[in-house]
């Protein structure tokens, strides 16, 4: 079994590790599950996220953690291989991952030489930056969003997410971005390259509109945990395409109670929808 795990809201909330998570990861690892991590976080450095897992007592290999920044670079390279000079309205991590993919992000004062546009969470957003992004987008170049999360939970409050910035750029250029993050199943597709071909992929997440929708669109069993965004009431009233196959109180409950149920009824590995 390959567990496709969301992170914020499943493993931790803000800077606080959720109860039972280290034990759940240890049990899943001991039972031979392949643990894969997919986060719509596109601003935190990949190494920082790996360190976060290490601090929880779990040593993850770099290829088993997929961020929205990495997915954006892979998406741009895969679908528009001729692009070389993206303009980035987002974090330095997005620019770094684009450089790792062989691309050269253009400086803000040279935006009209850009051949693509990548937008994500920018903690220093300004009207000037939005103007530059609009100028690039109006040229009709490929337009990629790291993710469309309008808000994300942080400790005991909510903060604006990448989707709020993407929406502003979309409104200013009059067209939609191609989304690299969940609910697109791209992250899951990329992560499963690290899993044995015989693995049964199972999605575990806390967000019905991203984690669960991505899993359902890929045809994978989905488990919603109640430690993040989704509540029992929201799940009960969700539209069919956002409704999980299983519900668990937390990750430990998912690993010890729900996953054995999935194994018991599984007919074997499920192929991702491409």
Q: Could you tell me the two tokens for 165?
A: 């910035």
- Residue 11 and residue 18: Cα distance in Å, rounded? 6
For residues 64 and 35, is the Cβ–Cβ distance under 8 A? Answer: yes
Q: Judge contact between 248 and 21, C-beta under 8 A.
A: no
| Best CA proximity match to 39, nearest among 149, 167, 160 | 149
d(CA 172, CA 192): 36
Structure token digits, residue 140:
């009709």
Residues identified as active-site: 6, 8
Q: How many Å apart are CA 83 and CA 86, to the nearest integer?
A: 7
d(CA 180, CA 40): 9
Residue appearing with tokens 């609910």: 183
């Amino acid at each position: 079994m390959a567990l496709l795990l969301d992170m914020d809201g499943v493993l931790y909330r803000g800077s606080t590790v959720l109860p039972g998570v280290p034990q759940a990861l240890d049990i899943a690892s001991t039972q031979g599950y392949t643990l894969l991590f997919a986060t719509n976080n596109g601003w935190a450095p990949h190494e920082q996220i790996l360190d976060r897992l290490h601090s929880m007592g779990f040593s993850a290999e770099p290829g088993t953690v997929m961020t929205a920044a990495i997915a954006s670079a892979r998406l741009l390279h895969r679908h528009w291989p001729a692009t070389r000079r993206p303009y980035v309205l987002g974090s330095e991590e997005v620019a770094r991952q684009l450089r790792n993919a062989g691309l050269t992000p253009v400086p803000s004062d040279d935006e009209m030489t850009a051949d693509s546009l990548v937008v994500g969470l920018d903690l220093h957003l300004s009207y000037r930056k939005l103007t530059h992004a609009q100028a690039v987008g109006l040229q009709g170049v490929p337009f990629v969003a790291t993710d469309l999360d309008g808000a994300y939970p942080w400790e005991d409050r909510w903060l604006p997410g990448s989707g709020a910035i993407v929406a502003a750029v979309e409104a200013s250029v009059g067209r939609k971005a191609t989304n690299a993050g969940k609910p697109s199943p791209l992250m899951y597709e990329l992560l499963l390259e690290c899993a044995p071909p015989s693995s049964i992929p199972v999605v575990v997440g806390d967000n019905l509109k991203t984690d669960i929708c991505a899993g359902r669109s890929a045809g994978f069993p989905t488990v919603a945990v109640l430690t993040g965004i989704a509540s029992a009431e929201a799940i009960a009233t969700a539209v069919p395409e956002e409704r999980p196959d299983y519900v668990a109180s937390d990750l430990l409950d998912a690993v010890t109670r729900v996953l054995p149920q999935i194994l018991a009824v599984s007919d074997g590995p499920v192929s991702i929808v491409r």
